[in-house]
Structure 1
Amino acid sequence: MLDPKIFMNDEGIDRDKYITGLYLLQCETTDILKKVEAIALEQSTGTWVQLPEETDEIRNRCVAKVLGVYEVPQYEDALPVGTKERTFIFKIAFPADNINGQIPQVLTALYGNISMSGKLKLLDITLPHSFVKNFKGPKFGIEGMRKLINVYDRPLMVAMFKPCIGMDPKSVGKMLFNLGMGGVDVIKDDELLADPTFCTVEDRLEECLKACDKVYKETGRKVLYALNITDNFDVMFKKAKDAVKAGANCIMVNVFTVSYSGMSVLAEDPAINVPILSHPDFAGALFGSPHYGLGSNLVLGKLNRLAGGDMVIYPSHLGKVPMVKERVIRIGQELTSPFYHIKRAWPGPSAGMYPGIVPQLIEDFGNDVIVGAGGGIHAHPMGLIAGAKAFHQAIEATNKKIPLRKAAEKHKELKIALDKWGTPETASNYSLTK
């Protein structure tokens, strides 16, 4: 018999006391309700046999609740003859008191052991205010960063150093200056550039801050340098605090190799009062499969924002790391939609971007989006400054509703970029998956 303490509906629980997981399951089964009941027990109070220590009081207080089980398609009268693998969507609610305000235990409770149990994907998590109130989220967010660097009514322009690794600190500083003079707002380290012996964090920061100051003196514009402090926890936290004391105005974290909690500690620390750029390397291991892992909206969107990322870089349907357009847009919605007290974070669909994609990017996201580019700036035939200017010219034309080819008649930087890379309709750019 199925346990009536486990099977309920949405209206039967106090939603502020439960964290709800939405799952996709593909399996061969003749009793899906029993299977989902087993999942709820495995991830809360039970195991594969009944235990004497699992009292009625413990089960009532701590057991997960199955709120819904739906088959896709939802057969009602009979299953088609020969049906083997079936597809289900189901919801399970977990008592928030089991988890007590931490991201690691959310992931453990909602997807821990069952992550190894077949074609089961955690599509989304609904977090109650009682849980989210434990987090501050991004220190600055979209509005705070606009105020910080005095950039309004257009996307944020972000660029990174290329080549990814190998340059010395003075070369990096010189490159930052040129990117800043071209109009880039935030210049970030590549994810591969952390703390190599030939270009250490300390030496790189010193040269890049000089370059930021020089850009400000010559243009009056504040440029942020996102210093990659990714490292072992103890070293990373020390690097962050030392960097801020030395004048750093932004930091970057490879969040999926150091964990959400690693970034969250940085974001929650009042002494580290600078924006944080979250980089997505390694994230594909969590969301890349259609059958396993977590939904990209959750991995790159909701949890990234909760953990304090002010700027969130992730793949784009317009670049070299292909991603389904609807997923890309949904991640952006997770980063910018109302989320209790948590500030809105910058969506940064990136990788393989070039000026011709700007109209589509703004069409999909509006102006609250990062235009992020590496090769699309560095490989411009006229050089770095021209490469950055071409993006700004594309942004200005798009916001004035001027077709790019028309705008290019007055801007040679944009014209050369369009001639070289085209637009999404005409481009045949490099793809990591082809």
Structure 2
Amino acid sequence: MTARRITATYRIETAYPIREAVETMAGEQSTGTFVRLPGETDEMRELYGAHIESVTELGEVAEASLPGAGVPKGLPGKPVWRRAEVVLSWPLANFGASLPNLVATVAGNLFELRPFSGLRLLDISLPEEFAAKYPGPKFGAEGTRRLSGVEGRPLIGTIVKPSVGLGPEQTAELVRVLCEAGIDFIKDDELQADGPHCPFEARARAVMRVIGDHAERTGKKAMYAFNITGDLDEMRRNHDLVVELGGTCVMASLNSVGLTGMIELGRFSQLPIHAHRNGWGYLSREPSLGWSYVAWQKIWRLAGADHMHVNGLRNKFCESDESVIASAKACLTPMFDSKPCTAMPVFSSGQTVRQAPATYAALGSTDLIHAAGGGIMAHPDGPAAGFAALRESWEAALAGVPLEDYARDHPALAKALGAYAA
């Protein structure tokens, strides 16, 4: 295997002989089809076919994990479903350093092949040509810290709630309260973009007026991630407006704008891109199918995402803490020798002061955004105390002091611990 090959790691499940099933994968996603073709020579398969780099058997299961799976013809008795971890590779010459065509190759028709009752993409590895072609994150943690003025701890943020229903001036009033609280980061909810009830331009102007006024008085400028999700012309127009108004962040929903939309946004953006993963569950929730986050986040980082949502510990969704931390560590792991291409993980979903110590202990880094909605807004003494409490929970975590001990001298944290269940 050479550096000019793309590799992909899968976990498969099949009732077919494993080697036969893997050869089907390799052929389907390179030179072959369901029958041998006259033009598919041995030389062509060697040069352009997908190579099977390794196959590691993982054991048997009693039943097929997914519907519609086939079994070998003439199989005597009940089928046996076997699992394996498989590594395939492709020559860069097949499609070049192209992210859209990479996805078509490593995650195309494979998921529909009848021989498989399970197929999940676990990881991908790309040659340096991809780093040369795609910008990757322009800001990442370093640029985000420079724009927000936050060093030595996570950015502490929140989400505009109610998600929809607030008009431009109501949103700006909420932002005023949060700025006065000292908040580092605020984001639009992914459901709020450019609707007639809260038009983007009116919201952006109202919000940036408040943020600008507060920055002039105090020197602290909150980073606001404006949701510019839309078609390309809309995203460019709204991005340019945020730049004109002095904003420091834009947000896009990855599964909505698509890979090409994100690539184009990454090319023209002059601001950090806050990448929201809403819809991630339909790619991942069935453990026998789809993508692992480790593989998925790589394409978006390379396209230009500076911040990547990873869920949060003890979240309101179905994801385990172990999976959340693995996702966050993946975002902070360099992809290439020539440039790190790392993104800042965003912890959110049901977050309160109680998750900070475990998050820091498991991640071992402060290069993250910790976003809490109710965990800040529902503090008994209001949002200012909610922000102070979450910041104090991180102070305790970084100092290695139990939250209950730190709370003795920090009333905001003490009230938060009483308000949010363990």
TM-score clears 0.5: yes
Maintained 8 Å contact 2:227/2:251: yes
Question: C-alpha offsets along residues 126-179 of structure 1, whole Å, 9 cap, x if unaligned?
Answer: 111122321111110111211222211101112110111100111111111221
Residues 390, 289 of structure 1: alpha-carbon distance in 2 compared, 3 angstrom cutoff: same
Partner of 2:237: 238
For 2:350, give the aligned amino acid: G
Partner of 2:32: 46
Q: CA deviation at 1:93?
A: 0.1
For 1:45, what is the secondary structure of its paired residue?
coil
Partner of 2:63: none
The within-5 A match list for 1:385-404 is 385-404=384-403
For 1:274, give the aligned amino acid: L
For 1:309, give the aligned amino acid: A
Q: CA deviation at 1:395?
A: 1.4
What TM-score do the two structures reach when normalised by structure 2?
Answer: 0.90
Partner of 2:93: 97
1:273 aligns with 2:270: yes
Partner of 1:69: 55
For 1:72, what is the secondary structure of its paired residue?
strand
Q: CA deviation at 1:82?
A: 7.5
Percent sequence identity is: 34
Partner of 1:7: none
**Alpha-carbon distance in 2 for matches of 1:188, 1:276:** 12
Partner of 1:284: 281
Q: CA deviation at 1:58?
A: 3.4
The within-5 A match list for 1:195-344 is 195-269=194-268, 272-299=269-296, 301-340=297-336, 341-344=339-342
Maintained 8 Å contact 1:306/1:342: no
Maintained 8 Å contact 2:157/2:186: yes
Corresponding residue to 1:24 among 2, 8, 11: 11
For 1:243, give the aligned amino acid: V
Corresponding residue to 2:46 among 60, 78, 103: 60
Q: CA deviation at 1:57?
A: 4.7
**Alpha-carbon distance in 1 for matches of 2:132, 2:411:** 51
For 1:24, give the aligned amino acid: R
**Alpha-carbon distance in 2 for matches of 1:328, 1:201:** 32
Q: CA deviation at 1:217?
A: 2.3
Q: CA deviation at 1:113?
A: 0.8
Q: CA deviation at 1:116?
A: 1.2
For 2:294, what is the secondary structure of its paired residue?
helix
**Alpha-carbon distance in 2 for matches of 1:18, 1:214:** 53
Question: C-alpha offsets along residues 271-311 of structure 1, whole Å, 9 cap, x if unaligned?
Answer: x2111101110111112210000112222x32232221111
Maintained 8 Å contact 1:177/1:214: no
**Alpha-carbon distance in 1 for matches of 2:384, 2:321:** 30
For 1:286, what is the secondary structure of its paired residue?
helix
Maintained 8 Å contact 2:208/2:245: no
Q: CA deviation at 1:216?
A: 1.1
Maintained 8 Å contact 1:164/1:190: yes
**Alpha-carbon distance in 1 for matches of 2:367, 2:263:** 23
Maintained 8 Å contact 2:252/2:276: yes
For 1:288, give the aligned amino acid: R
**Alpha-carbon distance in 1 for matches of 2:318, 2:410:** 30
**Alpha-carbon distance in 1 for matches of 2:368, 2:37:** 52
The within-5 A match list for 1:151-162 is 151-162=150-161
What TM-score do the two structures reach when normalised by structure 1?
Answer: 0.88
Residues 260, 185 of structure 1: alpha-carbon distance in 2 compared, 3 angstrom cutoff: farther
Maintained 8 Å contact 2:315/2:350: yes
Q: Is the deviation greater in 232-241 or in 350-359?
A: 232-241
